[in-house]
Structure 1
């Protein structure tokens, strides 16, 4: 089985790719950000008239991205507890890691997938965090 999956409840992808792809009993998610469904609104982000970030709240973005991941895995027939690998991209490790790590611990208190966290120079939209995840499907 090799099937593309899109959630009707999650923010739309910003490019030509699915939310996830199921291969056998594995679910591979495309990069997921904190944007809200049906809008360009990114929780906690303030932009100037030119579209440049003037301030952002990493806690709001973390909570939103985790909920977007939850929505996608559940709509694909999996669950939060079935996440087995999470790669996290942060744009500001120095300022954001401590807050992100605290919120991550709340969301992953009972399920502790493998995790990699890296700092990147920029993400495709004005976001400070993006997740790439793998889950199993029972």
Structure 2
């Protein structure tokens, strides 16, 4: 379980791409850094095909959604929280026009029981060649 105001890094979620923790607990709140769909221990991104120069040739938003939700769940559980304790989710998409309907359908599958506040925004680019990233806040017990 995450201790108050100490950084937490999950051994199940992908390694951060910079100098930041996966999460930090403050009182009864758990703040997650931006979480993407990469797989732990590799630079592999589910559903992404990259060209020789690292440009995105194609991507599957559905595969990325499932992967990012799995990564968020792993961080929450490693911190002593859970999916049901999510209270706020900010979602960053790189292509709102093409991806929102698919993302929204998959999001609804994962949030049938718990319905946290949600904000979805389109961004021009994310730090790695991904199409979705989540920033979350959850509650956590003593």
Give the structure-1-normalised TM-score. Answer: 0.99
C-alpha distance in 2, partners of 1:11/1:65? 10
* Displacement of 1:91: 0.2
Counterpart mapping for 1:90-105 below 5 A? 90-105=93-108
* Displacement of 1:41: 0.2
Counterpart mapping for 1:7-46 below 5 A? 7-46=10-49
C-alpha distance in 2, partners of 1:87/1:19? 15
Give the structure-2-normalised TM-score. Answer: 0.96
C-alpha distance in 2, partners of 1:68/1:101? 18
Q: Which runs of 4 or more aligned residues in structure 1 lie more than 3 Å from their structure 2 counterparts after TM superposition?
A: none
| CA RMSD of superposed structures (Å) | 0.5
| DSSP-derived class of the 1:130 partner | strand
| DSSP-derived class of the 1:84 partner | strand
Aligned residues between the structures: 138
What is residue 87 of structure 1 aligned with on the other side?
90
CA displacement, residues 84-119 of structure 1 (integer Å, 9 cap, x when unaligned): 000000000000000000000000010000000000
What runs of 5+ residues in structure 2 fail to find an aligned partner? Answer: none
| DSSP-derived class of the 2:92 partner | strand
What runs of 5+ residues in structure 1 fail to find an aligned partner? Answer: none
C-alpha distance in 1, partners of 2:39/2:6? 25
